[in-house]
Amino acid sequence: MSKQFTHFWLSMTTRLVLLGMLLALLLPASGLSAAPAALTFSVEIPASGDAGAIESVPTFTAPGNPYFVLNARPGGDFDYNFVQFDLSVLPANATIDSAVFRLHVNASANPLDIELGRVDGAWDEATLTWNGKPAVTWGGAVQNAPVAGNVDWPIKPLLSSWLDGTQPSYGIVLRGLTPTTGGVRADTREGAVAPRLVITYTLPPDEGPRPDLGDAPDSSNHHGVVNSAYAGVPGNFPTVWDVPAGQIAGPRHLNQTMEGWLGQHLSREAEADQGPDQDGPNNILRNAAGVIGDVANQDRGDDGWRNRQIRFFDCRRTTLEVRVSKDAAATRSFLYLNVWFDGNRDGDWADINLCPQTEAEPAQTGYEWIVQNYVVDMTAIPAGGWRDFLVNTEKVFNSTQVQPHWMRFTLSEAPAVQPAPGSDGPGLPDGAARIPPVRLLPTALARPKTSCRSRRPPARRVC
């Protein structure tokens, strides 16, 4: 979750003045104008993890399998199928109007009643077994699965409890209830149609400037805390704006006018690691109660990157689906999209690697800067609307394909500037404050699936 850039460097005095302005902008405005209407949005959130567990084979594990099997065998032998979601796409102040969990059944011997339950503990799809499964609370909705097609379970109360913190968000679990009917087979996120939440929500009116920063781990912060990117690896992603002299500032955009932005929502904050934040907790390090800890990825509204189920393979290109929104009064004809991917998991976005020659192509560079100044045609977006763009990447440098990776998406008014080569890398843009952004998608922690465990062609996975 890292976001913005600036085309100029500011003195500390100027920064302090701007910070005071930002604090004022975060406070409710008063006036005599008519109150603007609330906004309603619809979103589909695909599964960020899923796996099945079989009672009769208690050590079985199969991450990456493209389908679930749901059974209720004679004698009470069950298959439990677990699904979890990344809810950071939803704004913190969203009011949920409707929500269902949707599963796509692709084959069935006979119709089967399937019960939805709540997962009450942490789990990992790579290691989940029947013996190691978390606690579960049953008693949720029961739906009958047809021979084939989508099946929906109402989930609004559970989703609302996840969002307001009254229940921890560990996902849902499914089991068949009708014995001796045979199994039902349904797509996992590696299958043709990933399990998903289908949600409609409302946001209160929100006008005026919306200053915005990133939320990737940044160890050059106000609290002197090593902000970890991965276990044992400090995060050195430029995120904090007001850094000590000699360090690289993270991106910040005042958003005094809203030309365009990634996704459909962003929340305002004065700084990445301290001060007021519309979401409650700061983007990194500080929670809503003011407690400092080694945390990041806390900015809400990560809804710009749409096809998070894809995989990134070393020295291969892929295609990203990215949503761009446009203000009703926007005037610019184009903006620039850039994307970074920490392919070697060293806590920065400044690396390259040589990809070997193939029969079809000569040796080429693999990048962590995987989308380089892609020109977004803003004239193709209706005023006040949005459009999804398919964006091809460069060859991706990914030397750690089975691990999570931090990413950054940026949308800016000017192209990313390539700095001079130096001791800190090959001289590639690294997500620092060198370009003036309009709106940046909060960095996502991307979690790939092990390729050798998937029966499908390359199609990488994300949390």
Coil/strand/helix, residue 446: strand
Instruction: Read off the tokens for 299.
Output: 């900015």
Count of alpha carbons within 13 angstroms of residue 191, beta-carbon side: 21
Instruction: Read off the tokens for 209.
Output: 């400037």
Dihedrals φ, ψ of 337, to 5°? -105, 130
pLDDT class of 26 with cuts at 50, 70, 90: very low
* Residue 79 near residue 132, CB atoms below 8 Å: no
For the chain, list the domains and their CATH numbers.
1-27+206-463 (no CATH), 41-203 (2.60.120)
Q: Is the pLDDT of residue 399 over 50?
A: yes
For position 94, what pLDDT does the model report? 87
Element (H, E) at 20: helix 12-26
For position 235, what pLDDT does the model report? 96
Smallest CA-to-CA distance from 260 within 22, 4, 435, 437 is with 437
Q: Is the pLDDT of residue 316 over 70?
A: yes
What's this model's pTM, rounded to 2 decimal places? 0.70
Supply the mean pLDDT for the chain.
Answer: 80
pLDDT digits (tens, 9 = 90+) for 387-398: 999 999 999 999
What is the b/e burial string over 266-288, where b = at least 16 CB atoms within 10 angstroms of the residue's CB?
Answer: bbbbbbbbbbebbbbbbbbbbee
Smallest CA-to-CA distance from 94 within 42, 54, 56 is with 42
d(CA 463, CA 444): 8
Q: Is the pLDDT of residue 444 over 90?
A: no
pLDDT digits (tens, 9 = 90+) for 66-81: 888 887 666 667 789 9
d(CA 327, CA 289): 34
Of all residues in the chain, the percent with pLDDT exceeding 70 is: 79
Find the mean pLDDT for residues 325-338: 92
